[in-house]
Amino acid sequence: MHRRTLLAGLAAGLSVPSILRAQSAWPDRPVRIIVPFPPGGSTDTIARIFQPKLSAVLGQSVVIDNRGGASGSIGGIEAARAPADGSTWMLAYDNEATNQTLMRLPYKALEAFAPVSLVASGPLALVTHQSTPWKSFRDVVAAAKAAPDTISYASSGVGGLAHVSTTLLQQQGGFNLVHVPYRGGGPALQDAVAGQVPLFMSNVVIISQHIKAGTLRPLGVTTAAETRHVPGIAPFAAQGFPGFEAPTWWAFLGRAGTPAPILARMQEALGQALADPEVRGKIEEQGADVQATGPEACRAFLAREIERWGRVIRENNIRADS
């Protein structure tokens, strides 16, 4: 047993024998990962990429449980109420940070969850259907200023980073778009590909294939500089919004109070799964970069995201119905 794991377990009030039993016996039943969005979205996609390898490393079945709705908060509430025995985990999306300010939740993320690892991060991209006339984000801004509140954009839900960051762009640029929230990235993607909504702000994971096919045309990305995941497309920071940056992310969380040996075992297993060349390659092919941080770095990152985007939500009076 690692010395840090032993010390953490002792600090939690566990005896050495109980620590050894917890580490050796777990997992003794299938492990559930709550994905707080419907199938077909980026969170579901990434979870299903590392799921088989994680199952192999743990030597136990790993089951994906899609609990979509209310911008990820239904799944978050379910995960926050789960027993702290290592049976239930959650792959959180960036909504988890914004929901802390936007919604009246029955839990606080940094109190209810034990961060295990930041799994991946990547750019958001604003895309438009190939049938529209816009060739750059500047074109969209000009059209929106000429006809305020007539151009709509889709996102995976109210209060997610796609929604909040687009709101910030509008505030900084002095133009107005109409937000059309969906119950997840999958349903939003269907309408974007069909041309039912002219703009879609999304992580690249679920739209990369449609960008490559030419169905969706990228107009800008939220990274500080150009990204290899959407080559040749200028960031918003270079399109009249200096300093703008809003990368999306996915984090693996356990329940607070889960025995330290179990948390340590999951971190180790998840790290092995994400280090697998096939898993890493598939995630990067989708348009995200594997991070595989430790618990401390993951917790610090979540705290910064909650504070940063909470401030934007308050300053721009973003509400759950906006």
Query: In the predicted model, what is the mean pLDDT of the chain?
Result: 92
321 located within any domain: no
Secondary structure class of 279 (helix, strand, coil): helix
Specify the pTM.
0.85
CATH number at residue 274: 3.40.190.150
| Whether 115 and 130 share a structural domain | no
| Whether 170 and 256 share a structural domain | no
Rg (CA), the chain: 20
Q: Residue 24: which pLDDT band, with cuts at 50, 70 and 90?
A: low
| Whether 134 and 232 share a structural domain | yes
Q: How far apart are CA 304 and CA 99, in angstroms?
A: 14
Q: How far apart are CA 116 and CA 264, in angstroms?
A: 8
| Whether 259 and 110 share a structural domain | yes
| Whether the predicted pLDDT of 52 surpasses 80 | yes
| Whether the predicted pLDDT of 15 surpasses 70 | no
CB 237 within 8 A of CB 222: no
| Whether 294 and 224 share a structural domain | no
Q: What residue numbers bound the domain in which 33 lies?
A: 3-121+248-315
| Whether 215 and 291 share a structural domain | no
Q: Residue 140: which pLDDT band, with cuts at 50, 70 and 90?
A: very high
pLDDT number for residue 130: 97
For 55-94, give one letter per residue: b (16+ CB within 10 A) or e. bebbebebeebbbbbbbbbbbbbbbbebebebbbbbbbbb
Average pLDDT over residues 70-81: 94
322 located within any domain: no
Question: Which domain-ending residue is among 212, 238, 264?
Answer: 238
Using N-to-C axis directions, what is the helix angle for 260-275 and 16-25, rounded to 10°? 40
Q: Which two tokens stand for residue 88?
A: 């239930």
Secondary structure class of 30 (helix, strand, coil): coil
pLDDT number for residue 160: 87
| Whether the predicted pLDDT of 5 surpasses 50 | no
CB 65 within 8 A of CB 131: no
- Greater confidence (90 vs 42) lies with 90
| Whether 13 and 116 share a structural domain | yes
Cα of first residue to Cα of last residue in the chain, in angstroms, is 50
Q: Residue 17: which pLDDT band, with cuts at 50, 70 and 90?
A: very low
CB 236 within 8 A of CB 220: yes
| Whether 129 and 229 share a structural domain | yes
| Whether the predicted pLDDT of 225 surpasses 60 | yes
pLDDT number for residue 112: 98
Distances (CA, A) of 235 to 61, 218, 230: 41, 10, 10
Q: Which two tokens stand for residue 234?
A: 């200028």
243 located within any domain: no
**Low-confidence winner among 22-36, 170-184, 223-237, 279-293 (lowest mean pLDDT):** 22-36
Question: Which domain-ending residue is among 219, 238, 257?
Answer: 238
In total, how many domains does the chain have? 2
Peptide bond preceding 123: is omega within 30 degrees of 0, i.e. cis?
no
| Whether the predicted pLDDT of 308 surpasses 60 | yes
Average pLDDT over residues 82-100: 96
| Whether the predicted pLDDT of 159 surpasses 90 | no
| Whether 190 and 258 share a structural domain | no
| Whether 137 and 207 share a structural domain | yes
Average pLDDT over residues 105-118: 98
Residue type at 219?
Answer: L
pLDDT number for residue 11: 52
| Whether 253 and 167 share a structural domain | no
| Whether the predicted pLDDT of 310 surpasses 50 | yes
pLDDT number for residue 21: 53
pLDDT number for residue 317: 87
